[in-house]
Chains A and B, each alone.
Chain A
């Protein structure tokens, strides 16, 4: 304790030692090399904190681990001071002061080590620029997907607005008109007639509502069950349901599924798609010839391409090409043309990531082509 008090009292005194120049044998060159290098290190060690300080100021709000930066500044200042002292000892041999400075430097150095060790886990958790780039790309992709799906929903919403406007308001308007006619009429026979009409319009309204329900169901169907389906088996099922229509039309149905006999797909959808395509081909057959319908499947760039070719009425593609798949658009005057089948087919194909298109010539026939999304992706 006595020694410590004595040490502190005489901290700045240099009385007990000779200056370093005369302690031992120094050549001029050796001495100045020593002094100059120490001063140069000191100058550098005092400049580095200035640069760090400038950096901290510039990045004040976004810099992580600012405390470690400050510790590092202190550490380098302390190191610099030891080198200054080392040079001064050549003229001013204050070895007590030098000892104290070394001790402080030791403390600061170990403090810095502790500080660094503490923040190391956090520092390692920081994302590298490459990782950040990857994250940004991933997010951008997700956003793009989201924006596409939103655009799709928006389109559906618009379509739905048109449907309510045209297809719900229309039968309801008829109900309103008929009720007014009924109320303004005194003749019971006439009134009876209006009631009959009312009944048929309300039935018609019920049909529209049921159809809309099935449309909304497709757009919302998520947990669909995928399975390996043989085209031939599905076609067999579908043609069984259409036996009457096929016999009535005297239709000939041929197929070739040899290249690609099966697909991994939800069964209800594939059945519906085939049913709609076939019943359309039967419905819009030419009055001049028996229907010939040919179905085939193939593989193209890993995707399953399905096509349905008929020799029916055909369609003016220039006039109606862009409307074929729209809900409640019909192109031939037929009572049973509801404008629903192809809309549903398209919805079912697209909700699984596929595409549907057609080629058609008036009086010659129509070919529908469906590209089902490649099976790996659907898995």
Chain B
């Protein structure tokens, strides 16, 4: 298991359920950190930035979110990123197949890749085992 903690920012609870099931079944990560919106994720990073143990290794970020959307999240994240005690890999995880979104992700320095839904065991394995 390469990934200790996997964080997911997605407003859809079913997505959290699916990821949780896959991760448990294939033991892809020790711990899941679910966030239903961008604000609560940013809040978490602000308060937990010192605690290496609590911080995730990998973050799956949805684009279409209530309030701060995925892109807004990345902007906010850029401001606090240097305070983090642990390096974080971010993947976009979206149902959008718009090229604009994919391009935007490709140009963002904090984003390592773009994964389109549906979430499958295959995709998650590739992501988490490559880490």
B119 & A173 in contact (Cβ 8 Å cutoff): yes
Any A CB within 8 A of the CB of B52: no
Centre residue among B14, B36, B94 by max chain A CB count within 10 A: B14
Q: Is A245 an interface residue (CB 8 A)?
A: no
Contacts of A213 in B (CB 8 A): none
Chain B 55-68 interface 0/1 with A at a Cβ cutoff of 8 Å (1 = within): 00000000110111
Q: At the interface with chain A, which of B42-50, B81-89, B95-103, B106-114? A: B95-103
Give Cα A167 to B117, complex, Å.
Answer: 12
Q: Most chain-A CB neighbours within 10 Å: which of B21, B68, B97, B98?
A: B21
Asked if B97 and A165 sit within 8 Å, CB to CB, the answer is: yes
Interface residues of A in 302-329 (CB under 8 A from B): 319-320, 328-329
A331 near B66 with CB under 8 A, answer yes
Let me know if A11 is at the binding interface, CB within 8 A: no
Given known contacts A161-B98, A178-B18, A200-B14, A166 and B64 CB-to-CB distance under 8 angstroms: yes
Give A19 Cβ to nearest chain B Cβ, in Å. 98
Q: Closest chain A residue to B62 by CB distance? A: A170
- Let me know if B128 is at the binding interface, CB within 8 A: no
Give the chain B neighbours of A173 by CB distance below 8 A.
95, 117-119
Least distance between A329 CB and chain B CB atoms (Å)? 8
Contact of B117 among A162, A169, A201 (CB under 8 A): A169
Q: Which of A175, A177, A328, A333 has the most CB of B within 10 A?
A: A177
Instruction: Check if A104 is an interface residue, CB within 8 A of chain B.
Output: no
- CA of A178 to CA of B21 in the docked complex: distance in angstroms? 10
Bound-state CA distance A229–B66 (Å) is: 36
- Assess the A333–B36 pair: CB atoms within 8 A: yes
Contact residues in A for B72 (Cβ distance below 8 Å):
319
Across the interface, do B96 and A166 meet the contact criterion of CB distance under 8 Å? yes
Given the complex of chains A and B, what is the CA–CA distance between A167 and B94 in angstroms? Answer: 11
B63 to chain A: which residues have CB within 8 Å? 166
Q: How many residues does chain A have at the interface if contact means C-beta atoms less than 8 Å apart?
A: 30
B118 near A177: Cβ-Cβ < 8 Å: yes
In angstroms, Cα B121 to Cα A176, docked, is 11
A249 within 8 A of B: no
Verify if A154 is at the interface (C-beta below 8 Å from B). no
| Chain A interfacial positions (CB closer than 8 Å to B) | 161-162, 165-167, 169-170, 172-178, 180-181, 184, 197, 200-201, 319-320, 328-333, 337, 339
Residues of B bordering A, CB below 8 Å: 12, 14-15, 17-18, 21-22, 25, 36-37, 63-64, 66-68, 72, 94-98, 101, 117-121
Note all chain A residues with C-beta closer than 8 A to B12: 170, 174
Contacts of B36 in A (CB 8 A): 333
- Cβ contacts under 8 Å, B121 to chain A: 180, 184
Instruction: Tell me if A165 and B66 are in contact (CB < 8 A).
Output: no
Q: Which residues of A contact B97 (CB under 8 A)?
A: 165, 169
Could you say which residues of chain B place their CB within 8 Å of the CB of A333? 36-37, 66-67
What's the nearest-Cβ distance from chain A to residue B126, in Å?
15
A170 and B15 CA atoms in complex are apart in Å by 9
Partner of A197, one of B14, B22, B66, B119: B14
Most buried by A among B64, B68, B98, B120: B64
8 further A-B pairs in the complex, CB-CB below 8 A; given A169-B95, A169-B96:
A169-B97, A170-B95, A177-B118, A177-B120, A180-B120, A181-B18, A319-B68, A330-B66
**B66 engages A201 (CB within 8 Å):** no
The 4 A-B pairs at the shortest CB distance, nearest first, are namely A173-B117, A173-B118, A176-B118, A169-B95
Listed by A's residue number, 25 A-B pairs whose Cβ atoms lie within 8 Å are A161-B98, A162-B96, A162-B98, A165-B98, A170-B64, A172-B118, A173-B117, A173-B119, A174-B12, A174-B14, A174-B18, A174-B118, A175-B118, A176-B120, A177-B18, A177-B119, A178-B18, A181-B18, A184-B25, A201-B14, A319-B68, A330-B67, A332-B66, A333-B36, A337-B66
Given the known interface contacts A166-B96, A200-B14, the answer about A177 and B64 at a Cβ–Cβ threshold of 8 Å is no
Q: How far is the CB of A316 from chain B (nearest CB, A)?
A: 9
Compute how far the CA of A162 lies from the CA of B69 in the bound complex, rounded to whole angstroms.
14
